[in-house]
Amino acid sequence: MFNVLSNILVIAGTCILIGALFLVRQLIAQLPAGLVRRRWYILSIFIGFFVLGYISYTAVFWSRHTAWLDLIVPSVFFFGAGFVWLTATLSLHTAIDIRRVTVLEHENITDPLIGIYNRRYLDRRLQEEFVRARRYSLPLSVLLLDIDHFKRINDAYGHQVGDLVLSYLGKLLLSAIRATDIIARYGGEEILIIAPSTTASSAVALAERIRQHVETHELVLTSEPNKRQAIRITVSVGVVELDQEAADSQGLVHNADEALFRAKREGRNRVVLHD
């Protein structure tokens, strides 16, 4: 009886460990590449060694359990395997929950069409950067840009192509801004860029780089031979730096909007610094 019970405990523990290995594989699939993922790979190797150890123990002591004391080691094996399985299960569920929360948070602050931050996130970050710049006497600049003649694109190609242009512009801007810049959709085709710790001259240089980057690229609609169709767009940019006259963050945006209006009035495809 002791022999049968001991064998059952060890074999059941082996099966539980194998099940834990499958859970760990699912967990690894949820993790991004990096140190944490590599450590879970190492843990799965350890579990594999435990499985081999359980099998070896069963083979060596298959018929040698004759007393209650002989059940101690198989019991430890069984409950140890249960602990590993429970740890893997909880880790997997935790990783899934964290990933779900991260996705929801990302969707909550991201514009789904352009792929940049939305207005909700923009208002919060702009206020935070405004307060920080005021408190520590740091420079702060804002860039407000708009696609030139966007209505003509919608009228000529349709709103579906207009959406493609907005999405394409988002990719161009993300590749042109700096890591410290915060870019968000302000409204319609207007996009606002917060440039922390940036003076007016540096902000104008950034805006000019963005303008040239957009101007020199094109969105290819059809690449078939003899039917190639592409769209080139340009942007007008209004730039403003925080000064003592700005009472709040919205005043900063208002000044950037005035500069953008001047850029359009003076011929578009240009950068204008608020006077």
pLDDT higher than threshold 80 for residue 71 = no
**CB of 123 closer than 8 Å to CB of 252:** no
Instruction: Compute the average pLDDT of residues 223-235.
Output: 82
Among 53-57, 81-85, 151-155, which is the least confidently predicted range? Answer: 53-57
What's the confidence (pLDDT) of residue 239?
Answer: 97
pLDDT higher than threshold 70 for residue 67 = no
What's the confidence (pLDDT) of residue 37?
Answer: 85
What's the confidence (pLDDT) of residue 69?
Answer: 62
Q: pLDDT tens digit string along 124-176?
A: 999 999 999 999 999 999 999 999 999 999 999 899 999 999 999 999 999 99
Instruction: Please give the share of the chain, as a percent, with pLDDT higher than 70.
Output: 94
What's the confidence (pLDDT) of residue 30?
Answer: 83
Q: Model confidence at 107, in pLDDT bands (50, 70, 90)?
A: confident
What's the confidence (pLDDT) of residue 13?
Answer: 87
Instruction: Please give the share of the chain, as a percent, with pLDDT higher than 90.
Output: 54
What's the confidence (pLDDT) of residue 243?
Answer: 85
pLDDT higher than threshold 70 for residue 99 = yes
Instruction: Compute the average pLDDT of residues 236-258.
Output: 89
pLDDT higher than threshold 70 for residue 2 = no
Instruction: Compute the average pLDDT of residues 92-107.
Output: 82
Please indicate whether residue 107 is annotated as part of the active site. Answer: no
Of the ranges 51-55, 186-190, 261-265, the best mean pLDDT one: 261-265
Marked catalytic residue, from 105, 128, 129, 189: 189
Q: How far apart are the first and last CA of the chain?
A: 93
pLDDT higher than threshold 80 for residue 18 = yes
pLDDT higher than threshold 90 for residue 191 = yes
All domains of the chain, ordered by start, with CATH?
Answer: 2-109 (no CATH), 119-273 (3.30.70.270)
Q: How many CB atoms lie within 10 A of CB 191?
A: 27
Q: pLDDT tens digit string along 200-222?
A: 999 999 999 999 999 999 998 87
